[in-house]
Amino acid sequence: MEKSFFLSSDKNPKNIQIKKEIINHFVNNGNDTIAELSKGLDLSVPTVTKLIAELTEMGLVADFGKIQTSGGRYPNVYGLNPSSVYFVGVDMTRHHLNIALMDFKGDIVKYEMGISYMYENTTESFDRLCSHIQDFINGTGELKQKIYNICLNISGRVNPESGYSYSSFYFSEEPISNTLANRLNYRVTVDNDTRSMAYGEFMKGSVQSENNVIFVNVSWGLGIGIIIDKKLYYGKSGFSGEFGHFPAFDNEIICHCGKKGCLETEASGLAIHRKVLERIRKGESSIITQQVKDLNKLTLTDIVRATNLEDPLCIEIVEEVGLKLGKYVAGLINIFNPELVVIGGQVAETDAFIMLPIRSAVRKHSLGLVNKDTQILLSKLKNKAGVVGACMIARSRLFDN
């Protein structure tokens, strides 16, 4: 059964809206004084004082004591009460699940990484997913009573507003968010995995003061998360960021979307995996043959590990993919002129082996006046970006009906 949020008890719509603005101020700016809150929200000090008192009484806001100032009376600092509300983020990848519990302030208090889970677009796989999420929630003990929202990351076409996933678990006319909510008895939202990773990196990772950011997720597939003026860009139906399906190559490789020549067919973890297998089977040497006895079970994790152990074949293929990818990242920079491009996803775990060719191709193919203001950095959160982002998105949708 879905929970209604605390603010619903307030009968004054204007007060509810201002309380939402106060909470969002704390989410985006951290703790603050009433004077600074009033200035930032363009409200009178008495109005903010009254509503802060009500939010404190409700348990959502906490008084963190006085701070020293250059003169006069020391003001009290207020902020979100970490233990008042909790959120669960679920990051579903091809071979495992990452699940985390986050408090109201935005700190992860419990997480389980690398839960064994083989994604398949079947009802059985969906049932296993629900079981894993339920087991994690049960493991939070008394805190499960304070969980308000769950966000599930899904790759491909996801519409967060309607709750539909069109690429995975599209078994009925009912939105997957509703199906999950009924199974788990919590509010559930869904979002695209790359967009969640972008938001996680924006809130807790490599992004510092930048307002316009492109996050490139180089995992099994290829996608981007777009942040414009500090806000996630969704597009009309939530389908923005399908970078991997840009028509880029005149090849005969059929992408999983059903079309030929997609960027993803030559510049992704899937492409790296295919190329490594092809060349090993043609007789080229690699330490992979010593580490993986059955090549039918070769994973992207195995290839990343071999690359970082300086396997020449894997390095060559990763660099080749990096150069192809960098050419199209240059195109993104030319179009968006972002302050920052963050490279993340599993392939990014090869660090310099993928970053050097990407940077080289960007320098070659992007406009000098455009790229000189754009930094290109590795993801700081690495494999936690998705689950952190899912928790953050669950919190950001706090006031959704």
Q: Which CATH number fits domain 6-80: 3.40.50.300, 1.20.58.1290, 1.10.10.10, 3.40.50.10470?
A: 1.10.10.10
Q: Helices H, strands E: what count in the chain?
A: 13, 15
What pLDDT score does 70 carry?
62
**Positions of CATH 3.30.420.40 in the chain:** 86-198+386-396, 208-379
Assess contact for 166 and 177: CB atoms under 8 A. no
Task: Out of 1.10.443.10, 3.40.1410.10, 3.60.70.12, 3.30.420.40, select the CATH number for domain 86-198+386-396.
Answer: 3.30.420.40
pLDDT of residue 7: 59
User: CB-hemisphere CA count at 13 Å for 4?
Assistant: 4
Per-residue b or e along 215-239, where b marks 16 or more CB atoms closer than 10 Å to that residue's CB: bbbbbbbbbbbbbeeeebbbeeebe
Helix (H) or strand (E) holding 123: helix 123-138
Amino acid in the structure at residue 77: V
Q: What is the block-wise mean pLDDT of the chain (401 residues), using blocks of 10 residues?
A: 54 84 90 92 93 92 81 83 96 92 96 93 94 97 95 93 91 93 95 97 95 96 96 93 94 89 96 97 94 91 96 98 97 96 97 97 91 93 97 89 55
Which regions of the chain carry the CATH code 1.10.10.10?
6-80
Contacts of 371 (CB under 8 A, 6+ apart): 330, 333, 362, 363
3-state helix, strand, coil in the chain (%, to 5): 45, 20, 35
CA-only gyration radius of the chain, Å: 23
pTM of the model: 0.92
Please give the pLDDT value at position 312. 97
For the domain covering 208-379, report its CATH number.
3.30.420.40
pLDDT at 16: 86
